[in-house]
Structure 1
Amino acid sequence: MSRLAKKSPPVCVDLPLDDSDFRRKLKCLRQLLESCFGPAGRLKQVHNNIGGHVITTSTSSVLLQSASSSHPLMKIITASVLGHVSRFSDCGLFVAIFCLALIDRANKSGLCQSTAIRVNQHLLSTCTGYLHQEDCGCKLKLDFCGSQNLIGLSRSVICSKPACVLTELEAMHISRLAVQAFVMTVPCEGPGRVSLGRVVTVSVEGLPVKDSSVFPGLLVEIPEILYPGIIENDSSAPLKMVLYTASLSGDLFELGDGSLEVNAHVDTESQMLDQLLELGSQAVKDEVKLFVCQKVIHPVLQHYLRQHGVMVIERLGGTLVEPLIQLTGVKPVATLQTIIPPEAYGQVNSLSIRHFGFKRMMHLHPPENTVICTMILCHRNETMLSELKVVCQKAEHVLRLTLREPSALLGGGCTETHLAAHIRNQGINKVAEAALMLGCSEREYLLGMEAFCCSLDSVAQSLEHNGGNSLIDLTHGHHWTIPADVTQAQWEQVMGSCGCGLVEKRPDKEWTYLNTKYSEFSPAPLSRNTNLQPRVLDSFTAKLNALQIAVETANLVLNVRFIIQDVN
């Protein structure tokens, strides 16, 4: 009884947003994520206090999974960001920074939380409605007849992560490879339901980035002892193959669950080996040339198969099973207790060996046009290579999203400032109508609108990490940056182009500092006759969802009145 302790009652916290400790945590998280935002973002090293692997990154998913918090509202924000990234791969930092800015601005505006929530939701609808319009000034239609815009979108994703440490030429090379791999995964069939293929990524440390490449088919790493058994198919007939997902190690415990009765005088090891050799005999009889197992193959079975001219690959791993099925049409065999059915066999056109540094890869050439390809990613060290692999997978996902909605948004902070200018213009012109609809005063609506627009502007400002100033032009509403020591009289001398690269300086153009008062204006659409190409693009689908998630999460946090915690 001495070990029993009295159960403590739950702790109820009233008005958690008024808690100074919670506000300090929000500010700390916002500063952490803002400092990582964009191609000039600062890197973070993640490690624990007992040693282990050190990760260098500026990726939101890695940082938020590592920086855990016990506060319930912090958990809600983190879960929202990670949920968005798991679905769309991009704009995770945008979600977090915009959400935290909305919460901070709502607290400082003096509005009651219910009014701030209604205004935020109304302005979100205004943003999404504008972004879906054909004449939206910050949206660009993607042309699939050429690869220029797709490469620009891919490059924007890859260059946003400085931990990859890529030169301009290396970034362009990887961007082209990402687009090439994406195009390979799109089938050539006509109208109707189609299934996209898959990109298998293989990392090779120590080689220069320019050695990275994309190959149709599948590359599987193999040990050197397999070389003598490599089959080069010179004929036009494809090679037959079989795939086992069950273990062929010969161990009884690999047979599965259930009870097993064994006679005391029976040698179970030899019985299992005989059964394995029967499978091998059938494979040889059916003229199988490639025998693949997801797990382990008994050495005696391997020796038997190689003696009969069959190429053997074991320990394939679960990640390569599905791509191999798509590539060859093979149907995996999940048990060794039945004969191999004829329809289970697949086909490869040929096998060859490729060398990438210390890795030796078997190249499985597809029998015809395939939607499976392998991207070989090379980099100088493990840290850069790990980040590059993550970023290339994100770029692949972002490119796939363009099939759903063939549009992109202008990057470099121009979409955020353009949206803020559009909302201010709409809000001033329709303030009485909006206030009546939302059940608040015109003053409250204007305060909520300004908080929302300043939050958008602060996302664009987060792209600057060298002490410079952020500006907005009063014609198109695009984002510009200048060094900190430049005076207003020198603006025209140092201005080049806006953040996305589509607007260039002109003598008649006016600018003002972001997050300062300026006369509202209707952002003018860009001329479609210009030969300029956008320097930075963002995924339309990912950013639209990010905008919605950020506002909805901020509203959820603002709406929390009590937190009840069990402290036992």
Structure 2
Amino acid sequence: METKSRQEKKQDSTLSRHTLEDKSTINTLEILKQVLTSSRGPNGNIKMVQNVAGGHLTLSSRSGRLFEAMSFSGPVTKLVVTAIQGHLQHFQDGGNFAALLSLNLIIQSIKSGLNRKLIIEMVEEFLAMSLNYFNSGKCHVKCKVKISDLNHMSLVIKSMLTSKPSCCLYGDDLELISRLVIETFLNCLPSDNISNIYSDCLHILCFDSQPVSASASHKGLLIEFPELPSNHSHEIGLKKVEFNGKFGIKCIIVTVSMSGDTEALLDVHCEVDIASRVENVVIFRLKDFCRIIAQDGIGILFCQKVVHPELKQYCRDEGVKVVDRLGLQLVNKVLDVTEPM
């Protein structure tokens, strides 16, 4: 039996010409401007973004998050959004302001009917005048902030938090979060007693069904451990060892899967008996690994991915606590707070 694939007639290439004066282009820019204008500042509205066919729903008023959730088809709009995303990647802030400034310049230049070359020269001249004014001592827009003044720092943090309506921080909750941010910032400053300072030493852990008033700043690393009962109040009972005259807890960090899945072993060739299963052989070898670390005095096993239940039970019996499913981000935090042997 012979089958043939369906063939379609070759279509000729077409060239479409779009101008800035095109009504669809102007309407798209106006709509994007309205979206960003209504989500600006502390009184801005939260936007709900979802594909017309359904799927993931995004709630945000942040320009960077909105640009990631929305799709654009017009070439002019794509160019503007790409430029703003480049601004956000470089400066990490000011995306909403930069987008509105760009959209206003484009829309008003189209409506003015002036020569494009003349408009470009005027914009460059105004930009130079603005920069000179901002850098001069007569600028009343900018103000000096003293990092050593806690009141100034508190005002800066509150202005940032109140500009995010989805945070819903007001009154005492706003005061608490502002104080915690300042406290955490001060704790992250380098000191003579710390030899290594990490640029990303802050981790925020969110708990469901917990009020804002329960927020706190802790030195070290707080990790969710679902296997530990919530009403557990006494010590876990970790094995401590002596090293260089100090007692501590030895831990081991595994960045590969310990689930026994052979698909994680890409370039490994195994020779097993016909009556044996490859998964069982892998679990047996991993159990040997757990036995070795238990004999070496390891108190905690951190795994970036999944640990097989049989291996978890074996480690419990040997007095080794297991924390798995950490993820790449949290594994890096664990590496920050541990010292290599």
TM-score by length of 2: 0.85
1:53: how far off? 4.6
Counterpart-to-counterpart distance in 2, 1:58 and 1:257: 46
Match of 1:10 among 1, 9, 14: 14
Q: Cα–Cα, structure 1 residues 11 and 289, in superposed 2: closer, same or farther, change >3 Å?
A: same
Structure with higher RCO (Cα < 8 A, 6+ apart): 1
Match of 1:196 among 199, 204, 212: 199
Q: Secondary structure of the residue that 1:237 maps to in structure 2?
A: strand
Residues 287 and 2 of structure 1: CA distance in aligned 2, closer, same or farther (over 3 Å): closer
Counterpart residue number, 2:92: 89
1:165-184 Cα distance to aligned partner (Å, 9 max, x none): 22233223222222323333
Q: Does 1:120 align with 2:120?
A: no
2:339 to 326, 329, 334: 329
Deviations 1:471-496 (A, max 9, x none): xxxxxxxxxxxxxxxxxxxxxxxxxx
Residue 189 to residue 78, structure 1, CA distance change in 2 (3 Å): farther
**CA distance, structure 2, for counterparts of residue 314 and residue 111 of structure 1:** 64
CA distance in 1, matches of 2:108, 2:54: 39
Asked whether the equivalents of residues 284 and 310 of structure 1 are also in contact (C-alpha less than 8 Å), the reply is yes
Q: 1:249 aligns with which of 227, 242, 259?
A: 259
Within 1, Cα distance between the matches of 2:328 and 2:228?
A: 23
Alignment of 1:145-544 (within 5 A): 145-189=148-192, 195-224=198-227, 230-231=236-237, 237-257=247-267, 259-264=269-274, 268-330=278-340, 343=341
Alignment partner of 1:32 is 2:38: no
State the 1:73 CA deviation.
1.0
Structure 2 CA distance for partners of 1:75 and 1:268, relative to 1, 3 Å: same
Deviation at 1:135, TM superposition (A): 5.7
The answer to whether 1:61 aligns with 2:57 is no
Counterpart contact for 2:240–2:250, Cα < 8 Å: no
CA distance in 2, matches of 1:140, 1:13: 48
Q: Deviations over 1:207-258 (max 9, x none)?
A: 3222222211111111235769923689961111110011122232222235
Structure 2 counterpart SS, 1:18: coil
Which consecutive residues of structure 2, in runs of 5 or more, have no partner in the other structure? none
Offset of residue 50 of structure 1: 4.2
Question: Aligned to 1:55, what secondary structure does the other structure show?
Answer: strand
Residue 163 of structure 1 deviates from its aligned partner by: 2.4
Contact 1:229 1:309 in 2 (8 A): no
SS of the residue aligned with 1:218?
A: coil
Paired letter, 2:237? I
> CA 1:121/1:315 → structure 2, altered by over 3 Å: closer, same or farther?
same
Q: Which residue of 2 is the match for residue 336 of structure 1?
A: none
Shift of 1:134: 5.5
Change (3 A) 1:133 1:193: farther
The 1:11/1:240 distance shift into structure 2, 3 A limit, reads same
Match of 1:395 in 2: none
* Partner SS for 2:218: strand
- 2:151 maps to amino acid: Q
Q: Which amino acid aligns with 1:201?
A: I
Q: Does structure 2 conserve the Cα–Cα contact (< 8 Å) formed by 1:187 and 1:195? A: no
Q: 1:176 to 1:82 in 2, by over 3 A?
A: farther
Distance 1:274 1:176, change over 3 A: same
The alpha-carbon deviation at position 74 of structure 1 amounts to: 0.4
Relative to 1, partners in 2 of residues 1:281 and 1:194: Cα closer, same or farther, differing over 3 Å?
closer
CA pair 305-42 structure 1, distance change in 2 beyond 3 A: closer
- Conserved? CA contact 1:186–1:197, under 8 Å: no
How many positions carry a matched residue from both structures?
329
Paired AA for residue 231 in structure 1: G
